[in-house]
């Protein structure tokens, strides 16, 4: 689950997971839906940082950690190469479709003077290095005129996620080997490793944001702590016990904090420093609250069918909404969308996301031909 999906199962317990621990958690899917809606609404109408992307980063590491920790604790092989191939088999179809659509729209609608930059960013997006491309070009993510932005600018977060999806499995494999050699529980080793990543990256992020915020925004090193926090939540979750009333309150506190971050704070020039703890800890509260079984729990809202369905198309919606917005602003010669045309942009993005998920992503994910022979 990311902006790109990883694993839709729930957390394993510390020792022997029960069937309930392995169930799909619809409230997490609903959380993903709210996060992408925050990103889209803030991009289209408010021109501010919502914290939604940061929540996606945390969720992606949270679910990846659950999956790999289960494998290690149950003695199953990690099969890293198969994991990476399967992962990018899921991620790339939607990416390729959007990149081709952007290239076509650029050729038809965007001034030719901007073509070389967009072509460079197409390759950077496809190869998951877009964040470094933008950092090298000193791009201002908070520019008020979105029509002047690249239609592929939003791929910075997907690039960082792709880099982490390569790095994190190596950390799991190394930690498992170290834990076995030292005779220590692998979960303990993972908590220690991700704890160090969290502290060192957060310190770097705070310092870099204070000195060069524009570069820090796209710097993978300044974002690793957000992923590490998601991993730490996943590793600690089996040990966190609270009564249902406490979890009900915790969930609503988390939701309120999550939705209010971008509204209450002008956080643009402070991200991704310590201020990003606001949306991330809010999301962590919702995850820890979990499935309360209470009619008053926030999970009852998040598990509602419309939000779960929105969560299912959240990856494609993130891919589409920004290029649709930017191309429209170029055509309309406007610096920002208004209420009506912004609504049309969102509606078009939803339709494209639904079609991409249904006709491209889902068939490719279930395509058995590549799995029939190892060499494929």
Give the tokens for residue 115.
């073509």
Res. 22: pLDDT tops 50: no
Q: How many CB atoms lie within 10 A of CB 240?
A: 12
Sorted by sequence, the CB contacts under 8 Å of residue 187 that are 6+ apart come out as 14, 69, 73, 235
DSSP notation for 130-145: HHHHHHHTT--TT-S-
Distances (CA, A) of 102 to 40, 122, 143, 324, 360: 18, 9, 21, 9, 17
Which structure tokens are listed for 101? 């659509």
Where helices occur in 241-304 by DSSP H, the ranges are: 244-264, 277-289, 298-302
What is the spatial distance between Cα 202 and Cα 200, in angstroms, rounded to a whole number?
A: 6
**What was the pLDDT predicted at 206?**
94
The predicted structure's pLDDT at residue 267: 57
- On the 0-12 / 13-18 / 19+ scale of CB atoms within 10 A, 4 is buried
Decide: helix, strand or coil at residue 226: helix
* Average of per-residue pLDDT across 354-374: 87
| Predicted local confidence at residue 13, as pLDDT | 32
Degrees, nearest 5: CA angle 283-219-147: 85
Q: State residue 214's pLDDT score.
A: 85
Question: Residue 48: CB partners within 8 Å, gap ≥ 6?
Answer: 42, 262, 266, 267, 268
Q: Supply angle C-alpha 236, 240, 244, rounded to 5.
A: 145
Exposure string for 92-108, b = 16+ CB within 10 A, e = fewer: bbbbebbbebbbebbee
187-205 pLDDT, tens digit each: 999 999 999 999 999 999 9
CA 323 → CA 47, 115, 213, distances in Å?
A: 15, 14, 24
Tell me: pLDDT of 251 over 90: yes
Which band of pLDDT confidence, cut at 50, 70 and 90, is reported for residue 142? Answer: low
């Amino acid at each position: 689950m990311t902006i790109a999906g990883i694993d839709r199962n729930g957390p394993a317990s510390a020792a022997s997971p029960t069937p309930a621990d392995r169930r799909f958690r619809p409230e997490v899917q609903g959380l993903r839906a709210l996060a992408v809606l925050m990103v889209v609404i803030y991009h289209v109408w408010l021109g501010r940082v919502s914290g939604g992307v940061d929540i996606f980063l945390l969720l992606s590491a949270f679910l990846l950690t659950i999956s790999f920790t289960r494998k290690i604790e149950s003695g199953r092989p990690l099969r890293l190469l198969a994991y990476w191939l399967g992962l990018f088999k899921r991620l790339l179809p939607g990416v390729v479709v959007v990149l081709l659509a952007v290239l076509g729209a650029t050729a038809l609608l965007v001034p030719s003077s901007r073509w070389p930059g967009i072509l460079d960013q197409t390759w950077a997006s496809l190869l998951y290095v877009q964040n470094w491309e933008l950092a090298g070009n000193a791009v201002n993510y908070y520019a008020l005129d979105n029509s002047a932005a690249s239609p592929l600018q939003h791929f910075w977060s997907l690039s960082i996620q792709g880099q982490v999806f390569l790095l994190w499995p190596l950390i799991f494999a190394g930690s498992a080997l170290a834990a076995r050699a030292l005779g220590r529980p692998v979960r303990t080793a993972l908590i220690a490793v991700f704890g160090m990543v969290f502290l060192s990256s957060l310190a770097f992020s705070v310092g870099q944001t204070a000195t060069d915020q524009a570069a820090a925004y796209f710097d993978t090193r300044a974002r690793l702590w957000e992923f590490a926090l998601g991993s730490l939540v996943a590793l600690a979750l089996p040990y966190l016990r609270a009564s249902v009333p406490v979890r009900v309150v915790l969930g609503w506190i988390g939701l309120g904090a999550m939705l209010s971050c971008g509204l209450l704070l002008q956080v643009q020039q402070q991200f991704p420093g310590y201020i990003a703890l606001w949306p991330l800890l809010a999301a962590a509260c919702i995850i820890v609250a979990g499935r309360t079984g209470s009619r008053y729990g926030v999970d009852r809202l998040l598990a509602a069918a419309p939000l779960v369905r929105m969560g299912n198309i959240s990856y494609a919606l993130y891919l589409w909404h920004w290029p649709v917005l930017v191309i429209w602003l170029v055509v309309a010669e406007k610096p920002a969308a208004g209420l009506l045309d912004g609504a049309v942009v969102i509606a078009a993005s939803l339709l494209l996301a639904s079609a991409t998920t249904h006709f491209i992503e889902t068939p490719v994910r279930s395509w058995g031909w590549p799995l029939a022979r190892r060499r494929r």
